[in-house]
Amino acid sequence: MDEFDKNKKIDIIIKELMSVNGSYEEDYEIPDKYEDKRRLLRALMNVQIPVRLSDKYYEIQDRILTEETESKNLVSAEDIETMNKANGIDSKIAYWQGDITCLQVDAIVNAANSQMLGCFIPLHNCIDNQIHSAAGFQLRMDCYEIMTKQGHEEPNGNAKITSAYNLPSKYVIHTVGPAIPYGQEPNEEEIEELENCYRSCLELADKEGLKSIAFCSISTGVFNFPKDLASRLAIKTVRDYLKNNKDTSIEKVIFNTFSNNATEIYRKNLLESH
């Protein structure tokens, strides 16, 4: 879309979300600049409860999000080198620093909350918000359908799979990790729950015949799980799974990090446990 067309189109879906939500219609004015409109659209998507939207909404939303995805520096699973190019477990394990919404893999893992509907805080920088915002509102609707059928909140350590919609990956696997009270250390149950997150995601990927999966650092953000311990548990669980499942469809497991500190933790722990 050219700039003029984008400005007109985004107004249409902003107005629809304002209308559907009701409380925003009088409180907000649509900004003039496209960048400001785009932030408003994301914020409205973030706070919108699951509700049926028009085909026109999805047509315009998908056009915008697809163009944004295509403008990113996308990285495929094949572009990321593993720890060891020879045969063996480490020939399937890699780490990569960057935006997980740029990865062209079979599945990326989302660190969800127990509602499993995405983050409702406008423009929040958590991985849950980033993934839902880049995928599109269909992702919240899919999660809503899953959770409605389930009838209760998602237990820690389980995993669910959805389409990735406007993301470059094929699927999103959602898992809920343990939340650690600030200043406390994880207990044995919480350690087991985090291990189960990784194991459940791998089992689900295997069930779907997926070849590549990228893990975010589950529970290490606002859920306060210590980063070094979480890394060691993640690495051990993945290695044990690959060792014990020789016929797995999984050919590459990527540990995705965002900060230099987290990357160094994974690099160190992967080398030490090699």
Low-confidence ranges of the chain (pLDDT < 70): 1-4, 23-27, 273-274
Q: Which of 157, 142, 148, 242 is nearest to 191 (CA)?
A: 157
Q: Which pLDDT does position 4 carry in this prediction? A: 53
Both structure tokens of 125: 């920088």
Say if residues 97 and 263 touch (Cβ distance below 8 Å): yes
- Could you read off the pLDDT of 99-152 as tens digits, one per residue? 999 999 999 999 999 999 999 999 999 999 999 999 999 999 999 999 999 999
Domains of the chain with bracketed CATH? 3-71 (no CATH), 75-272 (3.40.220.10)
Q: Which pLDDT does position 231 carry in this prediction? A: 98
Q: Which amino acid is at 184?
A: Q
Residue 246 backbone dihedrals phi, psi, to 5 degrees: -65, -30
Contacts of 44 (CB under 8 A, 6+ apart): 14, 17, 18, 21, 24
Q: Which pLDDT does position 255 carry in this prediction? A: 98
Q: Rounded CA gap, 194 and 228, in Å? A: 13
Say if residues 84 and 91 touch (Cβ distance below 8 Å): yes
Say if residues 235 and 202 touch (Cβ distance below 8 Å): no
Q: Which pLDDT does position 84 carry in this prediction? A: 82
The total number of residues shown for the chain amounts to 274
Both structure tokens of 65: 């999000």
Cα 14–chain centre separation: 24
Q: CA 259, 263, 266, 272 torsion: positive or negative?
A: negative
Q: Which of 139, 168, 160, 164 is nearest to 77 (CA)?
A: 168
Q: How far is CA 184 from CA 136, 155, 179, in A?
A: 36, 21, 10
Q: Which pLDDT does position 22 carry in this prediction? A: 75
* Helices 55-71/3-21 angle, 10° precision: 130
pTM over 0.75: yes
Q: Which pLDDT does position 27 carry in this prediction? A: 59
Both structure tokens of 31: 């900004």
Q: Rounded CA gap, 2 and 13, in Å? A: 17
